[in-house]
């Protein structure tokens, strides 16, 4: 009995710490990523769009779980702030991928040809990105 009494509070304490610590850390991490993303991505998208002669409408930075980026029919580009965890080549891959969608909306062969024209390493980078977890 005494032993259980001693163990129980310890267990509860440990559980509370485990529950709260990662949440706080996560929030800070997301805020930091958002700050970095807002400093880096709009400029990089502008640079790549102008050097590769693409036109897009707007850029939004979002915290999403499933996709790195998207491009709407109106050429509004969304990028995931978790991109900031990746190396610059992979970020450029996602940006150029979305910029190519301003011309080719689907993933047809035409799209992949266009992407490879603008980014010769596209296939290799795509494989690497697929292996990367969020
Ligand atoms: Zn795509």
Measured in Å, residue 97 CA sits from the centre of ligand 1 at: 6
Q: Residue 31 C-alpha to ligand 1 middle, in angstroms?
A: 26
Is residue 121 one of the residues assigned to a domain? yes
pLDDT tens for 118-133 read 999 999 999 999 999 8
pLDDT given at position 91 = 98
Whether 110 is in a domain gets the answer yes
Phi then psi for 75, rounded to 5 degrees?
Answer: 60, 35
Residue 66 covered by a domain: yes
pLDDT tens across 46-88, in order? Answer: 999 999 999 999 999 999 889 999 999 999 999 999 999 999 9
In a domain, 31, yes or no: no
Torsion-angle region of 133 (φ positive above 0: left; ψ -120 to 50: alpha; else: beta): beta
Residue 5 domain flag: no
Q: Residue 68 sits in a domain of what CATH number?
A: 3.30.2010.10
Distance 118 CA to ligand 1 centre (A): 15
Reported as a single tens digit per residue, the pLDDT across 9-53 is 555 555 555 554 455 568 899 999 999 999 999 999 999 999 999
Tell me the C-alpha distance between 8 and 6, whole Å: 6
Task: List the beta bridge partners of residue 77.
Answer: 59, 71
How close is the Cα of 73 to the center of ligand 1, in Å? 12
Q: How close is the Cα of 112 to the center of ligand 1, in Å?
A: 9
The domain of 56 spans 37-131
């Amino acid at each position: 009995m005494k032993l259980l009494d001693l163990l129980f509070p310890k267990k509860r304490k440990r559980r509370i710490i485990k529950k709260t610590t990662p949440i706080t850390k996560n929030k800070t991490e997301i805020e930091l990523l958002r700050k970095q993303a807002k400093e880096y991505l709009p400029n990089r998208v502008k640079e790549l769009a102008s050097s590769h002669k693409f036109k897009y409408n707007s850029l939004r930075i979002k915290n999403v779980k499933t996709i790195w980026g998207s491009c709407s029919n109106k050429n509004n580009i969304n990028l995931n702030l978790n991109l900031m965890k990746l190396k610059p080549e992979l970020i450029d891959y996602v940006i150029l991928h979305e910029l190519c969608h301003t011309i080719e909306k689907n993933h047809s062969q035409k799209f992949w040809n266009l992407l490879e024209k603008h980014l010769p390493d596209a296939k290799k980078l795509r494989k690497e990105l697929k292996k990367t977890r969020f």
